[in-house]
Structures are given as structure tokens and as C-alpha cells.
Amino acid sequence: MRVGRVDFGGVVKEINLAFVPEARIGDHVLVHVGFAITVIDEAEAARVFEHLREIGELAEDGAAP
């Protein structure tokens, strides 16, 4: 049963990795009741901001247009 040490921004907790066999050191994971339930897709993580730029409501530097 694979467990990993997960850093929550300076606080470290041991988390069960059984549902994310593909997780590697350095990956960010979504954690629920002591289990990692997915690896965060870093490429997709920026989508929220790309979408906003596409609709013209966000400048390149993240400020208002």
C-alpha cells in the first residue's frame, strides 16, 4: 500500500497513494480524507486564466485589461 509524504504548504502529512499509482515526487495531488484522488494536471491548471484572456477580461500580466 503506497503512502507518500505530502506537503500542504509547509505542513507535511502522510497520505495514501493507492488511487494514484502514477504519482511521482514533485507532483501535486488532490487529497481527501487521507487519500490522494488525482494528480493535478499542471498543463490544464492554467486553463482558468487562458479562458479569461480569450474572452478579453484579463491582461497578460494577470491584471485587469
Partner 1 sequence: MTAARGFAPSCPLPAGDGECVQLAHGGGGRAMARLLDALIRPAFDDPELDRRHDGAALEVTGPVAFTTDSYVVKPLVFPGGDIGSLAVNGTVNDLAMCGARPLYLSVGLIVEEGLALETLRAVVASIAAAAKAAGVRLVTGDTKVVDRGSADGLFVNTAGIGEIVAPAPVGPAQVRAGDAVVLSGDIGRHGIAVMAAREALGFETAIESDCAPLAAPVLALVESGIAVRCLRDLTRGGLASALVEIAETAGKRIAIEEAAIPVRADVSAACELLGLDALHVANEGRFVAFVAAEDAARAVEVLRRYDAAGAAAVIGVVGDGPPGQVSCRGAIGASRVIDMLSGEQLPRIC
Partner 2 sequence: MRFRDEYRAPAAAQGYARAIAKAATRPWTLMEVCGGQTHTIVRYGIDQLLPVGIELVHGPGCPVCVTPVEYVDKAIEIASRPGATLCSFGDMLRVPGRGGDLLGAKSRGADVRIVYSPLDALAVARAEPAREVVFFAVGFETTAPANAMAAWQARRQGLANFSLLVSHVLVPPAMRAILDAPANRIEGFLAAGHVCTIMGTREYEPIAARYRVPIVVTGFEPLDILEGVYMCVRQLEDGRAAVENQYVRSVRRAGNLRAQALMGEVFRVIPRRWRGIGDIADSGLGLAEAYADLDAERRFGAVRTVGEAAGECISGLVLQGARKPPECPAFGTRCTPERPLGVTMVSSEGACAAYYRYRGAPRPAETESAGA
Measured from the CB atom, the residue of 25 and 64 that comes closer to partner 2 is: 64
Q: How many CB atoms lie within 10 A of CB 33?
A: 7
Collapsed DSSP state (helix, strand, coil) of residue 50: helix
Binding at 25: pick from partner 1, partner 2, none (beta carbon under 5-8 Å per type):
none
Measured from the CB atom, the residue of 9 and 25 that comes closer to partner 2 is: 9
Q: Is 16 exposed, middle or buried (0-12, 13-18, 19+ CB in 10 A)?
A: middle
Shortest distance, CB of residue 22 to partner 2, whole angstroms? Answer: 10
Shortest distance, CB of residue 44 to partner 1, whole angstroms? Answer: 22
